[in-house]
Amino acid sequence: MKSFDAIVIGAGQAGPFLAARMVEKGMKVALIERKFLGGTCVNAGCMPTKTLVASARAAHVARNGATYGVNIPGEIAIDMKVVRARAETVTMNARNGLIGWFAGMDGMTVIYGHARFEDPKTVSVNGETLTAPRIFLNVGARPVIPDLPGINDIDYLTSTSIIDLGSLPRHLAVIGGSYIGLEFAQMYRRFGAEVSVIEHGPKLASREDEDISDAIADVLRSEGIDIHTGASEIAFSKSSDGITVATDSARIDASHVLIATGRKPNTDDLGLDAAGVITDGRGFITVDDKLATNVDGIWALGDCNGHGAFTHTSYNDFEIAAANLLDSDDRKLSSRILAYALYIDPPLGRVGMTEKQARASGHKILISTRPMSRVGRANERGETKGFMKVIADAETKKILGAAILGIEGDEVIHGIIDAMNAGTTYPALQWSVPIHPTVSELIPTLLGDLKPV
């Protein structure tokens, strides 16, 4: 049996950085990864997908060049092999960077293999047994494949496998109208494929307020994406030239099908029962406010604990654990203000409560909205789709949440994220003097228009 000061299982966006901090403190650490360093973000998530989004935007801008007085003769051609190779290069640079970083650390042992608990302090991997007083789980999540009629009879894509697609689909059917599915839908439409989105619920991006969901649908429809919501029945069958997707109201002749119906944690084959670690009904590991499980000496970080499922929330889990365990600090999960983005174009930047959540919470709320068509920078760039929305508490003057669907919305939202984390009241922000011409300069104006509902 090999002994360590700590064992980290999974090399996503929390575990490796925590392992590195512990090594800096002179600890002997084992980092176990069953596949690739970097987790979903580096290998099948943020980095490759946002690289693909950038290629798709380049194609979109080129096609619309004449609007700006830039005429490109002939048809815009997409070389999917080059597109894919570019995304792969970004991934490999990041992954190899991690490999090189860890190789230079004394005290760090990287082990590739499938780890399983033998007991609360012991794991086995590749026929070896390792033990440590502290074990951290950062095992991530994977796509959910729903049990739909005919799904096992077709060759479907997931958010992981579609990244390796080196050819352009004739017609891509996206099953699931949430964040991952919508990004791929717009991306492949801009590459030149016909695209249909099939969503079981009544709205796209169902987590958002209805006005945001409707605006997202308008953006996608304006680019020629076919949207089917309220699809209560979905079935698949092979056809002579592809796959037939049948719903209760439509029949789609697709060449490829992307299943984007959510993700589930990679916790079902870790031997958690042997360690006594509790999970909830969906398989997420139950943690307290400091990310500790019910078993002393075991913590769960990142997607597998069900609190965030984003790269930045996973990294924040590392920060919380490191602060509490290594820096004698007192950081809590409940202090985190959730923020995220949807990377369609224009992007959606989100922070805090939706209007629906704010109303349900019992706050006396103020709301302000402003269409992007009234933002100078958006008009100058010819990108006026979407709108800004902010919700505040009428009594405390604190900002409760915001949504910015529009040009650079994923960046502009950070002014509000920072204000909320600092506890700044909205009247204080109204006195800021922003730079012109920017999208962010409209934040004081937006806050000045707050009205009771």
Contacts for 282 with CB less than 8 Å, ≥ 6 apart: 264, 265, 306
What values do phi and psi take at 246, rounded to 5? -110, 130
DSSP 246: E
Residue 169: C-alpha distances to residues 88, 193, 246, 340 (Å): 19, 6, 19, 29
In 66-89, which positions are buried (b, 16+ CB within 10 angstroms) versus exposed (e)? eeeeeeeeeebebebeebbebbee
List the strands of the sheet with 234-239, edge to edge. Answer: 234-239, 242-247, 251-254
List, as one string, the DSSP characters of 365-397.
EEEEEEEGGG-HHHHHHT----EEEEEEETTT-
Q: Please, are residues 427 and 448 in contact by the beta-carbon 8 Å criterion?
A: no
Q: How far apart are CA 334 and CA 307, in angstroms?
A: 10
Q: How far apart are CA 116 and CA 95, in angstroms?
A: 24
Stated as kind and residue range, the H or E segment containing 238 is strand 234-239
Q: Which residues pair with 365 in a beta bridge?
A: 393
Confirm whether 414 is a catalytic residue.
no
Catalytic residue selected from 171, 256, 363, 436: 436
DSSP SS3 for 254:
strand
Q: How far apart are CA 402 and CA 355, in angstroms?
A: 9
Q: How far apart are CA 366 and CA 51, in angstroms?
A: 38
Stated as kind and residue range, the H or E segment containing 56 is helix 46-63
Q: How far apart are CA 443 and CA 63, in angstroms?
A: 32
Q: Which residue has the tokens 């901090």?
A: 21
What pairing do the DSSP bridges indicate for beta strands 387-393 and 399-405?
antiparallel
Q: Please, are residues 442 and 368 in contact by the beta-carbon 8 Å criterion?
A: no
Q: How far is CA 100 from the centre of its chain?
A: 26
Residues annotated as catalytic are 436
